[in-house]
Amino acid sequence: MGIFYDEKNRTFKLDTPNTSYLMGVQDDFGYLLHYYYGPRLRGTDASYLARTDEPPYTPARNGRDKLSFLDAAPFEYPTGGTGDFRTHCLEVRTAAGHNAVELAYRRHSIQKGKRPLPGLPATFGGELDCTALTVTLADDVLGLEVDLEYTVFEDVDAITRSALIRNTGAKEPALYLTKVLSACLDMDDRDFELLTLHGSWARERVIQRRPLAVGRQGVFSERGETSHQAQPFLALLTPGTTQTQGQVWAMHLVWSGNFEAQAEADQFGQVRAVLGVSPWNFCWKLAAGESFQAPEAVLVYSHQGLGGMTRTLHDLYRGHLLRGPWKDKKRPVLLNSWEGAYFDFDTEKLLAMAKSGAALGMEMFVLDDGWFGDRRDDNRALGDWYVNEKKLPGGLKRLADELNAMGMKFGLWMEPEMISPDSDLYRAHPDWAIQISGRTAGLCRNQYILDLTRREVLEYVWGRVEAILTSANIEYVKWDMNRQLSDLGSLGLTSDRQGELSCRYVMAVYELQERFCKRFPNVLLENCSGGGARYDPGMLYYSPQIWCSDDTDAIERLAIQEGTALLYPLSTMGAHVSACPNHAVGRTTPMDTRGHVALAGTFGYELDPRKLTEEEREQIPDQIALYHRFNALLRTGDYYRLASYRENHTWDCWQVVSRDRRTALVTYVQVLASANRHSRRVLLQGLDPAANYRLEGTDRVFGGDTLLHGGLPLEPLWGDFRSKQLVLLMED
Ligand code: DGJ
């Protein structure tokens, strides 16, 4: 495994355990062309796949003109303005107002290990487990260089890539980057389907598949965050791809702001997929000697359907993206105050809730919104990060100490990036909000966004975060962000740099969170953005878990968690049991179903335990025991999606198998009951076909091969919204 350069053919070959990726330098001009991405190949001679000898391609060889070539050749990093009329990765505006870019190969280097991307989250790996390639391309007319960086990992079938753009200063004192994407995949169309994830507040990451049509299509965010509405991801699937079969090419961006993920099917039956920071309102000035680092894109090829892609992404993120001591540890069972108390609390009430929860086995109390300044409701006080002593006499310290005394840890909610117009902070610094001079900025949840691109603002915010975190024994932080970016103007940026604001904002958030991780390495950080509007690989680099959605209804969560788990490890997926009728949809579901669904994620409670029925309370210790029993399995095991309520409108089923294949946990939810039905025979996955498995609680033993190919009958349950868990244990 690793990266090879075949000098004779001028071909680069990147190998992961089961895949190969090939590209090479085309003779005449030095274009870097993409040859192949798919199952592992033996050789490196794949340059013929670029078909540069075929008309209408090569101008030098067959007299056809250059534009025909540029508009059809498979480029590794296509540029705009010189004749490739498909979507492309790089656009540059010169001082003279021109936009043409044309890149040719200059040099390359291959090294063991992976360099971090300055200021950006990225996957990591050491000299023993990954190899990196840098290919430098240049446009000598512009004095512009592009470093394309690739990494392959020894232990996972993923490739990462990114681009660094440099103004050498040889030709232009300043270049303006108007589009810098991170990755491109040029392929032939195979009647692809396009898979993307979309949603809204409380309906995040719902899977959508559609036939790929000629033209451009995809998803994007221009909201300043990756958003509830879209995920920075796309996958191309061969027809009929299922969880277990079919070919999948996937791209995922390690980034938390505006993005575009597009696929374009062209006039010649080719497809170009691109992914990167959205060019919308993007203009980055590169003075001589300066460079711009585009975020990292993750590429995965799977010939084992969507399930293969999912498990590769899970392994990559668990092994090479998540950081800190909590990523491999069981997290405390938390009780969050939000749905149980909203803004209506004082210390006595919180302690009473916590005491009631502790008696049932809950381990950490998280105080959500409402503890600071004059925060009576969500219309005010963001930015005033001083404890409201009227609500919490003795401050956070007293609360934390009393919780600790009852054996509970203490966690706290903050929304450090925001400023309410009705706040002392805004009254003192109205210019600190992102805004355009002379235009009244729009409010969203009655708040503005702090302009973190200004040093003094970032330092102020960091100062308050640090002061709060050191004021009491706080062992967990929920870092929230509850609005989208609009009215993009920074009073700290010159006019020629206003187009950098959205990107710089995200980078400033990364800087704050990096400081947080360094200063408070043992504090468990959970990111959140009005539910899951910033659930992306970028934020995962800082927090090992992210709040999945404000919709905590167990049935609504089925599609949300299915979409989330398609890409992200279960250990990252913030999921809580909440009270019924559910606060988002008014539905009442059985307590055990709520528990089973939340167990697929980080698990915790979001309610006032004192207000539960006795019957509900009685079930909590057993639920928590399940969490303790299965957490290691769910955190480290292989995830298989067996049935989708989103697709079949009746029931949902998933399975997690331990890495040693000795234990399998199957969870199913029967959403709607129907009369006179047989059991559902579900084909299990991931088991050892040569082993036998006992169904726990029975004396029934099944062959692994029989469960894989014949299946396991799941009995119909009595009533709607019912669920059941089955455990299969390998016999010695
Ligand atoms: C949005 C989050 O998603 C909720 O869980 C809660 O923390 C509220 N914000 C508080 O304002």
Q: Is 480 a catalytic residue?
A: yes
- With a 6 A CB cut-off, is 531 part of the ligand 1 pocket? yes
- With a 6 A CB cut-off, is 551 part of the ligand 1 pocket? no
Q: Which of 84, 266, 384, 550 is catalytic?
A: 550
Rounded to the nearest angstrom, the distance between the alpha carbon of 175 and the centre of ligand 1 is 41
pLDDT in tens, 332-356: 999 999 999 999 999 999 999 999 9
Domain that holds residue 718: 642-730
Token pair for 712: 């396991």
- Ligand 1, residues 484, 547, 583: which to mutate, most atoms within 8 A of Cβ? 547
For residue 261, count other CB atoms closer than 10 A to its CB: 29
Rounded to the nearest angstrom, the distance between the alpha carbon of 200 and the centre of ligand 1 is 15
Rounded to the nearest angstrom, the distance between the alpha carbon of 531 and the centre of ligand 1 is 7
Atom 1 of ligand 1: nearest residue by CA position: 530
Maximum pairwise Cα distance, the chain: 84
- CA gap 98, 117 in Å, rounded: 30
CATH code for position 251: 2.70.98.60
Is residue 134 situated within a structural domain? yes
CB-side neighbour CA atoms (13 Å) of 239: 4
Angstrom CA distances, 38 to 16, 35, 177, stand at 10, 10, 32
- With a 6 A CB cut-off, is 338 part of the ligand 1 pocket? yes
Is residue 694 situated within a structural domain? yes
pLDDT at 61 over 90: no
Q: Is 705 a catalytic residue?
A: no
Predicted confidence at residue 322, as pLDDT, reads: 98
Is residue 16 situated within a structural domain? yes
Rounded to 5 degrees, what angle do the CA atoms 307, 18, 539 make? Answer: 55
Last residue of a domain, which of 275, 299, 320?
320
pLDDT in tens, 690-729: 999 999 999 999 999 999 999 999 999 999 999 999 999 9
Is residue 688 situated within a structural domain? yes
Q: In what order do the strands lie in the sheet with 32-39?
A: 2-6, 11-15, 19-25, 32-39
Check if the beta carbon of residue 193 is closer than 8 Å to that of residue 236.
yes
Token pair for 140: 């000598």
23 three-state secondary structure: strand
Predicted confidence at residue 51, as pLDDT, reads: 87
CATH code for position 707: 2.60.40.1180
Predicted confidence at residue 26, as pLDDT, reads: 86
- With a 6 A CB cut-off, is 340 part of the ligand 1 pocket? no
Rounded to the nearest angstrom, the distance between the alpha carbon of 378 and the centre of ligand 1 is 10
Region 397-424: mean pLDDT is 98
Percent of the chain with pLDDT over 90: 96
Rounded to the nearest angstrom, the distance between the alpha carbon of 334 and the centre of ligand 1 is 15
For residue 519, count other CB atoms closer than 10 A to its CB: 13
Atom 9 of ligand 1: nearest residue by CA position: 530
Is residue 577 situated within a structural domain? no
- With a 6 A CB cut-off, is 528 part of the ligand 1 pocket? yes
Write a three-state SS string for 287-338.
ECCCEEECCEEEEEEECEHHHHHHHHHHHHHHHHCCCCCCCCCCCCCEEECH
Is residue 706 situated within a structural domain? yes
Q: Which of 84, 384, 451, 480 is catalytic?
A: 480
Give Rg (Cα) of the chain. 27
For residue 98, count other CB atoms closer than 10 A to its CB: 12
Rounded to the nearest angstrom, the distance between the alpha carbon of 544 and the centre of ligand 1 is 18
Last residue of a domain, which of 281, 302, 320?
320
Region 18-45: mean pLDDT is 94
Atom of ligand 1 nearest to the CA of 606: 5
Where does the pLDDT of residue 57 fall: very low under 50, low under 70, confident under 90, or very high at 90 and above? low
- With a 6 A CB cut-off, is 479 part of the ligand 1 pocket? no
Tokens 């020894």 identify what position?
Answer: 154
DSSP H helical segments within 365-500, as ranges?
Answer: 395-405, 424-428, 455-469
- Taking the CA atoms of 463, 464, 468 and 469 in sequence, report the sign of the dihedral they define: negative
Is residue 304 situated within a structural domain? yes
Ranking 49-63, 136-150, 162-176, 673-687 by mean pLDDT, the lowest is 49-63
- With a 6 A CB cut-off, is 413 part of the ligand 1 pocket? yes
- Structural domains in the chain (count): 2
Region 34-43: mean pLDDT is 97
Atom of ligand 1 nearest to the CA of 368: 7
- With a 6 A CB cut-off, is 482 part of the ligand 1 pocket? yes
Last residue of a domain, which of 285, 320, 355?
320
Rounded to the nearest angstrom, the distance between the alpha carbon of 432 and the centre of ligand 1 is 23
Angstrom CA distances, 725 to 355, 454, 653, stand at 29, 51, 10
- Strands of 348-480 (E only): list them: 364-367, 409-414, 418-419, 448-449, 476-479
Write a three-state SS string for 672-723.
CCCCCCCCEEECCCCCCCCCEEEECCCCCEEEHHHHHHCCEEECCCCCCCEE
pTM of model > 0.75: yes
Atom of ligand 1 nearest to the CA of 549: 3
Predicted confidence at residue 647, as pLDDT, reads: 97
Q: Kindly state the helix (H) or strand (E) to which residue 596 belongs, with its residue range.
A: helix 591-599
Which residues, 6+ apart, have CB-to-CB distance to 529 below 8 Å? 225, 480, 481, 482, 535, 547
Region 187-216: mean pLDDT is 97
Is residue 126 situated within a structural domain? yes
Check if the beta carbon of residue 105 is closer than 8 Å to that of residue 64.
no
Nearest residue to 608 via CA among 332, 334, 336, 333: 336
pLDDT in tens, 428-442: 999 999 999 999 999
- Taking the CA atoms of 658, 691, 154 and 159 in sequence, report the sign of the dihedral they define: negative
